[in-house]
Amino acid sequence: MSLVEEFADFVGSVPCREVSLPWGRAQVWDVGKGRPIVLLHGIAAGRRTFFRLVPLLAKSRRVIVPPLRGEDLPEPRATWDAMLDDVAALLRALDLGDATLFGASFGGAIALDYGARADPRVTEIRVQGTFKGFRLRPRDRLAHLLSYAAPASLGAAYFARRVRRGPDMKLLAEHAPGIDELFPRWCAATPFPTLRRRIALLHALDLSGPVRAIPVPLAFLHGAKDRVVPRAFFEELRRLRPDADATLLDAGGHNLPLTHHRILGTWLDGRNSLP
């Protein structure tokens, strides 16, 4: 079975349950039994990026994967605090306890900030390819400002072009053949007003204080070949929390749930010494 067929089979059969969240009724993936782990996806492409990871984790864990606010319906005015409140509502609605909160990229920033709330339901925070705040390179600032001001159709086309030419596409083609063709379409499925709002929120973000305040065990994982979120952001997190487990994966890029799902699954099981 090809990865494209595997993805179609997974999406067609993954167990879902309807959960009431502040923004509406969400179809939440709820798979497996055991100690719960909640997966928060990145800025675009949605939770599809976890399709190779979920079955591995579900062998020993209860895996909860919600869509983030704005993924199904545009949320051009969503606030950062509202997304944190969504996580709290999910944990309450499913009566989760002793949970691991894992976030990739944008979802990792949400997980870090939520960790500072010291919710007793969450006993561990793990993040991959994330940051305390995202600063654009000078050459990208004008392009992003234009995409904010442009009509949604033009902004979406610009973003899709950047994804197709993105630095992680070669790794996707190598480690997830076929998915590299689907990935730009997954990104395009995220409503552009939502994407534009998420990017704007990241530009105003500084999680230095929350990261220092997280009271539960904390772990960082980063791909050494990540060009979407460069290694400097990982090093910033390490300096903020020298007590955290911090792992640099030499062979990995940004989309580890797709390209290195087995290694990521091992790491999420708490085994921080990776091959």
Q: What would the pLDDT profile of 124-135 be if each residue is shown by its tens digit?
A: 999 999 999 876
- Rounded Cα distance between 43 and 110, Å, is 11
Which has more pLDDT, 66 or 251? 66
pLDDT for 147? 53
Q: Which range (49-53, 188-192, 234-238, 258-262) has the least confidence?
A: 188-192
Q: Is the pLDDT of residue 139 over 80?
A: no
SS3 212: helix
- Report whether 41 contacts 69 (CB < 8 A): no
pLDDT at 163: 67
The upper half-sphere exposure of residue 257, i.e. CA atoms within 13 Å in the direction of its Cβ, equals 27
For the stretch 30-89, pLDDT in tens is 999 999 999 999 998 899 999 999 999 999 999 999 999 998 777 777 899 999 999 999
Sign of the alpha-carbon dihedral angle for 106, 112, 117, 120? positive
Distance CA 243, CA 255 (A): 25
Residue 160 · residue 140 · CB < 8 Å: no
Calculate the average pLDDT of the chain: 88
* pLDDT value at 187 more than 90: no
Tell which residue, 74, 228, 224, has the closest CA to residue 136.
Answer: 228
- Which residues fall within 8 angstroms of residue 146, CB to CB, at 6 or more apart? 158
Domains in the chain: boundaries: 3-268
Half-sphere exposure of 8 (CA within 13 A, CB side): 6
Q: What percent of the chain has pLDDT over 70?
A: 87
- Architecture in CATH of 3-268: 3-Layer(aba) Sandwich (3.40)
